[in-house]
Amino acid sequence: MKETIRVDHLEKTFHSRTDMKIRALVDVNLIVHDNEFVCILGPSGCGKSTLLRIIAGLETSSSGRVFYNGQEHRKPRPEIGMVFQSYSLMPWLNVLDNIALGLTFAGWPRNKRMDVASGYLDMIGMSDFGKAFPHELSGGMQQRVAIARALANNPNVLLMDEPFGALDAYTRIIMQKELLRIWEQHRKTILFVTHSVDEAVYLADRIILMSGSPGEIRKDIRVTMPRRRERSNPLYGELTAELLALLERA
């Protein structure tokens, strides 16, 4: 399999105003292959989001290196898209203009970027909401728009930082199914941060289990159950129980 993202001996230490050193990440090593769906699972405060931000080029590491397609990577690049837990939509722009925002920054003519945005709006099942504004949408709909905006830039890698964490349980399940449908259609490489064991088991090809602070990778688990996964499957329950036990020990 083609290697897309490589993280080598990555460490991150924060310094407080009182000069206290807080170690967020310790000797993190990770390889993500082309078209893989990888979930990073761990308790709150274990450095999952920090790791994702470093991979995105939004934050610097204290030591270690990140590679994209074999080249060292330190700054944001269009080939790597990011979806945050907060929807981060521009409240003064309608849905179509929000989806086309990256294309606007890239200097695309309006007619071309509207064509692309309309295509992604259809893909997320919201073709009737192009002129709506974010405050007129539910949380799940806003997150669909945020995903469509990231995909409209045609990244090779999609980084997702607990994108469904603020949604209610039912909407979260619907969005998980929607994300898998989009992933199966576009086959992007996805690195998805979550603290939900169930979410990781439902979505991932591989689950990267991190320990509590300071964050380090404890286990790399390949999920062999075929999709679409049924929560009633005994194997689903067994893997969920195994991960919960590992998290408790970590």
Q: Looking at the structure, do residues 124 and 239 belong to the same domain, yes or no? A: no
Same domain for 72 and 172, yes or no, is yes
Residue 208 has pLDDT above 90, yes or no: yes
* Lowest model confidence (mean pLDDT) among 25-39, 112-126, 159-173, 231-245: 159-173
Say if residue 122 is in the same domain as residue 58.
no
Domain contains 84:
no
pLDDT at 17: 73
Range of the domain at 108: 91-137+148-154
pLDDT in tens, 162-188: 888 878 888 888 888 888 988 888 889
CATH of the domain at 20: 3.40.50.300
In this structure, are 74 and 161 located in the same domain?
yes
Is the residue at 97 inside a domain? yes
Residue 85 located in a structural domain: no
User: Are residue 62 and residue 166 in the same domain, yes or no?
Assistant: yes
The verdict on residue 55 lying in a domain is yes
Domain end: 129, 154, 179, which one? Answer: 154
**Do the domain assignments include residue 30?**
yes
pLDDT 10s digits, 14-40: 877 777 788 889 999 999 999 999 999
| Whether 179 and 75 share a structural domain | yes
**HEC per residue, the chain:** CCEEEEEEEEEEEEECCCCCEEEEEEEEEEEEECCCEEEEECCCCCCHHHHHHHHHCCCCCCEEEEEECCEECCCCCCCEEEECCCCCCCCCCCHHHHHCHHHHHCCCCHHHHHHHHHHHHHHCCCHHHCCCCHHHCCHHHHHHHHHHHHHHCCCCEEEEECCCCCCCHHHHHHHHHHHHHHHHHHCCEEEEEECCHHHHHHHCCEEEEECCCCECEEEEEECCCCCCCCCCCHHHHHHHHHHHHHHHHC
What is the residue-averaged pLDDT of the chain? 90
**Are 205 and 179 part of one and the same domain?**
yes
Across 189-195, average pLDDT: 94
pTM over 0.85: yes
Number of domains present in the structure of the chain: 2
For 56-97, write each residue's pLDDT tens digit. Answer: 999 999 999 999 999 998 898 889 999 887 778 899 999 999
